[in-house]
A = this chain, B = another copy of it.
């Protein structure tokens, strides 16, 4: 399990959300409140859109709480759309290649959750990747794999929601064939430089928490946990749904599957 946040709005310094709040993501790396794992110290990453179509990504294996480079980067880089993620590894190794967010072309993706019995379904899932995305596989996580599978669907013309729904359904089907009873849990965010899509799903009753803050002129924030102790303004995204956001606000919210 991990913690993450996504921001879309007027251009701000990353540290406004990543480092400064009372219960910032950096704080959550050391002491999360609503996570299965209290400590999210197995690496971290930030991804941000600037002047280029392709986002910048900074990922590191150290805990977020102790990395001075992260502080420097976040207090000096502005963006209208950025992701940040702190990792609690669930079985795959500690490596930058296993840290979120993942990037492919203009897309960024990050994830909190787990595919039940991943070791058993991994091979069948990787087999569904088209060659050019198979070649993009750098690490070993279920998260990177889900991302590349979703990208394949998007490239074949599906909407983001269709793509995610279909991949989750296919994964569940494979898990069923292999008689896996552990749940598929999936809180995720996908961006393309102008839009952010946030997903909350689980095959059991315990979808990872995911909150949305809509604050007029101050932009939109999606986060695993509210960034302040008082949770005013933070609404829990319902399980099984997806929220779409763009420069005009929350464009729509729909059932995921």
Contacts and interface: CB of A to CB of B under 8 A. Distances in A.
A34 interface: no
Contacts of A93: 68, 95-97, 138
A131 B135 contact: no
Interface stretch (A2-10, A47-55, A156-164, A238-246): A47-55
Contact of A39 (B30, B55, B59, B131): B30
A173 interface: no
Interface string A65-93: 11111001101111000000000010011
Interface in A131-187: 131, 134-135, 137-140
What is the size category of the interface that chain A forms with chain B? 35 or more
B72 A58 contact: yes
A94 interface: yes
A97 B140 contact: yes
Contacts of A66: 41-42, 89, 94
Interface of A: 30-31, 38-39, 41-42, 48, 50-52, 55-63, 65-69, 72-73, 75-78, 89, 92-97, 119, 122-123, 131, 134-135, 137-140
B72 A57 contact: yes
A101 to B, nearest CB: 11
Given A68-B93, A76-B77, A123-B135, 17 more contacts: A31-B38, A31-B39, A39-B41, A48-B76, A56-B75, A57-B69, A60-B69, A61-B62, A62-B62, A66-B89, A66-B94, A68-B94, A73-B73, A119-B135, A122-B134, A122-B135, A138-B140
Contacts of A65: 41
Nearest to A87: B66
A135 B125 CA distance: 13
Given A76-B48, A76-B50, A77-B77, A62 B94 contact: yes
9 contacts: A39-B39, A41-B41, A41-B66, A58-B72, A59-B68, A67-B94, A69-B69, A92-B138, A138-B140
A137 B57 CA distance: 25
